[in-house]
Amino acid sequence: MKKIAVFLPSKYKGGSLRGAKMVAKSIATAAKQLNDDVEVVFSYVGEGGYDVSEDFGDLLDLGIHLRETRWEVLNEKKISQFSVPVMLDRLTEPLKYEQYCYPLDGTNDFHDCDLWVIISDRLPAPVLPVKKYVSLVYDYIQRYVPDIFPGEDLWQLQEKSFFPVVRNAQRVLVTSPSTLEDVVGYAGVARDRVRLLPVNFEPPQAISGIDNPFQNINNYFIWVTNTSNHKNHPNAIKALEVYYNELGGGLDVLVTGYWTEYLDPVTTLPASSDIPYIKYCRELLRTMPNTLKRMHFNGTLPEQSYAQAIGQSKFLWHPARYDNGSYSVVEAAFLGRPSLSARYPAMEHMDREFGLHLPFFDPNSIRAMARALKEMEGNFMKIDLPDQEALSSHSWQSNAHILYKSIIEII
């Protein structure tokens, strides 16, 4: 039997968590279809605040084992003292970096696994070379939005952690052509070690019998986001001000996603939070009382409530500056709702792959964003959407074998 560990090494939720789980489920499903004797282990960080039964119930249903994990950063001295002689005996290459990171699960620290699959390169240091591993990289936002890591030395982050993670991987997986070119031309990985996967998504669950948390609001569009600054909140908020106060916008906006409740200036920030970007957005909204009245913040929604909220909206708005593409626009199409999106390479790729007929706008132009909202308000019914059957052909279940083949051949 082979054993594969899938790691989500940060306390991500929302789309990042769903993406990591899709990888684990794809491996388990494809192995079963091929009658391969493969066990899948899913690693999550303990400080993530996860509800195991709610957040990982779908993994448990497929027989995927869960391990709570802590990532330790080790220097050479710590490595020489740590788990001696087991760890040093298992090094696959000489140590060449000042620090390494290593997953601890309280038992055998994943040494029982034949391959590690690490979701993203966003680790605090290179991976200690004790196992073969694959890195799945979604994007290099920092290349296009350098202020994504405020207060950090971007060169230090990349050269001492992000880039070595992918350069030392046996294989790097990506889900968009633009990210593939970034992995090769920006991170410096040989092209023959990079594989482009299909853009997969997980069709939303059935929503019958689930209450829409926004059922008291009749006419709205939905903004699915989080509080990272690549999501373009200042421009989006200013565009909403123009949409409502100059263009007579008739739809409210519902804001959902991880930590988005703290964008609302009337919500008390956690005592431990001191994030200048969030504070800036809150102060900006304080100066726009009329716009703020039309905005409704709900943070992270349970999956079925999220689907219900999208399904009863007029359309979905995606004003981010850059990323690997938002699956929310595909989820919206599956639920029969069109989307209005910022134009950048990953979204154009997603539009082509799924046939979404997305109207695009320039996320750097506040007035263009506002005008696009007003036009969408009057035209959203005219957008031709793919049906659920066509979209389901892009589901992770349909493409599980492609991901599985890219991973299993490393062992």
Specify which of 88-92, 210-214, 358-362 reaches the highest per-range mean pLDDT.
358-362
Asked whether residue 227 falls in the same domain as residue 369, the answer is yes
* Residue ranges of E strands in 109-196: 115-119, 133-136, 171-174, 194-196
Question: What is the rounded distance in angstroms from the CA atom of residue 405 to the CA atom of residue 252?
Answer: 45
Question: What is the rounded distance in angstroms from the CA atom of residue 54 to the CA atom of residue 121?
Answer: 26
Instruction: Tell whether the model's pLDDT for residue 373 goes beyond 70.
Output: yes
Asked whether residue 104 is domain-assigned, the answer is yes
Asked whether residue 387 falls in the same domain as residue 401, the answer is no
Handedness of CA 152, 154, 160, 162 (dihedral sign): positive
Report the relative pairing of strands 99-104 and 65-75 from DSSP bridges. antiparallel
Interval 16-28: pLDDT, tens: 788 899 999 999 9
Is the bond preceding 85 in cis, omega lying within 30 degrees of 0? yes
Asked whether residue 170 falls in the same domain as residue 253, the answer is no
What does the pLDDT read at residue 206? 55
Q: How many beta carbons lie within 10 A of that of residue 302, not counting itself?
A: 12
pLDDT band at 93 (very low <50, low <70, confident <90, very high): confident
Interval 130-156: pLDDT, tens: 899 999 999 888 888 887 777 677 777
Asked whether residue 134 is domain-assigned, the answer is yes
Q: Is 164 helix (H, G, I), strand (E, B) or coil?
A: helix
DSSP 79-132: HHHSSTTHHHHT-SS---SSEEEEEE-SSSTTTT-SEEEEESS--SSPBPSSS-
Q: Is 319 helix (H, G, I), strand (E, B) or coil?
A: coil
Q: Which residues pair with 70 in a beta bridge?
A: 104
Asked whether residue 212 is domain-assigned, the answer is no
Q: How many domains does the chain have?
A: 2
Taking residues 146-174, what's their average pLDDT? 86
Contact between 49 and 14 under an 8 Å Cβ cutoff? The reply is no
Q: How far is CA 127 from CA 98, 138, 142, in A?
A: 12, 18, 21
Residue with more model confidence, 158 or 58 = 58
Alpha carbons within 13 angstroms on the beta-carbon side of residue 125 total 17
Asked whether residue 368 falls in the same domain as residue 402, the answer is no
37: amino acid identity, one letter: D
Which CATH number is 80's domain given? Answer: 3.40.50.2000
Asked whether residue 194 falls in the same domain as residue 236, the answer is no
Question: What is the rounded distance in angstroms from the CA atom of residue 281 to the CA atom of residue 293?
Answer: 15
Kindly give the interhelix angle for 366-379 and 233-245, rounded to the nearest 10 degrees: 60
Contact between 149 and 157 under an 8 Å Cβ cutoff? The reply is yes
Residue 181's domain comprises 2-200+396-408
Asked whether residue 211 is domain-assigned, the answer is no
Asked whether residue 147 falls in the same domain as residue 245, the answer is no
Asked whether residue 403 falls in the same domain as residue 359, the answer is no
Instruction: Tell whether the model's pLDDT for residue 345 goes beyond 60.
Output: yes
Q: Is 41 helix (H, G, I), strand (E, B) or coil?
A: strand
